[in-house]
């Protein structure tokens, strides 16, 4: 069958910077070893072959993984390079290591590719383009026949709705918070149609209600602290934000610094919509995809505020680091843990 593959224009700009990376993907994460790689490792001779086989174990989820040593992949070298890659070549890397931070949402007859902003270099590339251009390159590939597991009229509905959401996000007349308020309202409108199996996509109507939500920041941060935490830096950020309580900072200087990050918020929103929105074709829940974005935006804003209170400045690099760590610590967790965060939100008008 034919499969249409779509790539954002930044996709091919990525190249791993290896030892120059400040947050190696070889650290903290357990590397899942796919079946094909495990089979290949069985035939590798010498010390490296023995090591490949001896460091594999089964984790609590039943996945075959490399056992971490000092919180790092056992094949990570002090130079920052990979022992497998250096000694055996790229073809011996397992699927995870070959592909990360590249990701794909595969819908059988089409697939959408992107980069994960949990990778610092990918984040720098993605956030460097302020044009908000969502144009994608299309490549047709022949693939083995696969069953299409979604209703075509529903997928068409979701794609049209996504295009409308893109337009809301790209509207620079709206503040980032107002953007999310409108996206949420629109998702609720769509959800009512989805629940009735009515797949006629309406146009969004922009309201004048700019407030986003009322929330207990303490409860939200406590929920993040209860999740599995990969990096000490992220835990420290959360604890500093928790020390703020529910207070806010009213400073023209801080507001100016935050305003300079306005386009980056929009890029973040587009990233989440690109990655998660079409999954609604399988779970029929449009609202939770917007709540996911609201959750990320809220915790990022709070961590930015805590950083400013501590350092009396909020440089671009610090904001980008917060965004990258938020992705690393949340997007690679289970959706059950993420969705548990949503209960903290009360959207005005609900």
Q: Which of 238-247, 270-279, 281-290 has the lowest mean pLDDT?
A: 238-247
Confidence bin at 273 (pLDDT 50/70/90):
very high
pLDDT at 262 over 70: yes
Confidence bin at 349 (pLDDT 50/70/90):
very low
d(CA 174, CA 198): 29
Q: Which residues contact 247 (CB under 8 A, 6 or more apart)?
A: none
d(CA 263, CA 169): 10
pLDDT at 127 over 80: yes
Cβ-count burial 117-129 (b if 16+ within 10 Å, e if not): bbbbbbbbbbbee
What is the pLDDT averaged over residues 286-295?
Answer: 92
d(CA 112, CA 176): 25
pLDDT at 332 over 80: no
For the chain, state the CA radius of gyration: 22
Beta bridge partners of 138: 6
Starting from the edge strand earliest in sequence, which strands make up the sheet with 102-106, in order?
102-106, 110-115, 2-8, 136-142
Q: Where do the DSSP E strands lie in 189-285?
A: 213-214
């Amino acid at each position: 069958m034919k499969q249409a593959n779509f790539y954002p224009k930044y996709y091919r700009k990525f190249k791993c910077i290896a030892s120059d990376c400040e947050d190696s993907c070889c650290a903290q994460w357990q590397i899942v070893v796919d079946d094909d790689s495990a089979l290949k490792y069985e035939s590798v001779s010498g010390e490296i072959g023995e090591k490949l086989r001896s460091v594999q174990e089964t984790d609590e989820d039943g996945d075959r993984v490399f056992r971490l040593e000092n919180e790092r992949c056992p094949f990570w070298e002090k130079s920052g390079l990979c022992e497998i890659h250096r000694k055996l070549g790229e073809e011996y890397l397992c699927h995870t290591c070959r592909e990360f931070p590249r990701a794909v949402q595969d819908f059988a007859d089409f697939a959408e590719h992107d980069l994960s902003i949990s990778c610092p270099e990918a984040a720098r590339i993605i956030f460097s383009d302020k044009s908000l251009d969502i144009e994608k390159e299309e490549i047709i590939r022949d693939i083995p026949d696969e069953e299409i597991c979604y209703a075509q009229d529903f997928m068409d509905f979701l794609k049209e709705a996504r295009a409308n959401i893109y337009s809301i996000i790209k509207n620079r007349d709206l503040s980032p918070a107002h953007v999310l308020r409108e996206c949420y309202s629109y998702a609720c409108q769509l959800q009512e149609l989805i629940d009735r199996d009515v797949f006629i996509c309406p146009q969004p109507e922009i309201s004048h209600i700019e407030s986003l939500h009322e929330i207990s920041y303490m409860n939200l941060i406590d929920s993040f602290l209860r999740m599995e935490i990969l990096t000490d830096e992220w835990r420290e950020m959360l604890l500093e934000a928790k020390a703020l309580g529910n207070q806010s900072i009213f400073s023209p200087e801080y507001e100016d610094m935050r305003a300079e990050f306005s386009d980056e918020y929009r890029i973040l929103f587009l990233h989440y919509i690109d990655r998660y929105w079409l999954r609604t074709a399988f779970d029929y829940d449009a609202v939770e995809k917007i709540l996911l974005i609201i959750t990320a935006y809220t915790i990022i804003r709070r961590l930015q505020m805590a950083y400013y209170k501590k350092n009396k400045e909020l440089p671009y690099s610090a904001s980008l680091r917060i965004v990258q760590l938020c992705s690393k610590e949340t997007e690679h967790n289970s959706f059950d843990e993420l969705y548990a965060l949503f209960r903290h939100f009360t959207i005005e008008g609900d």
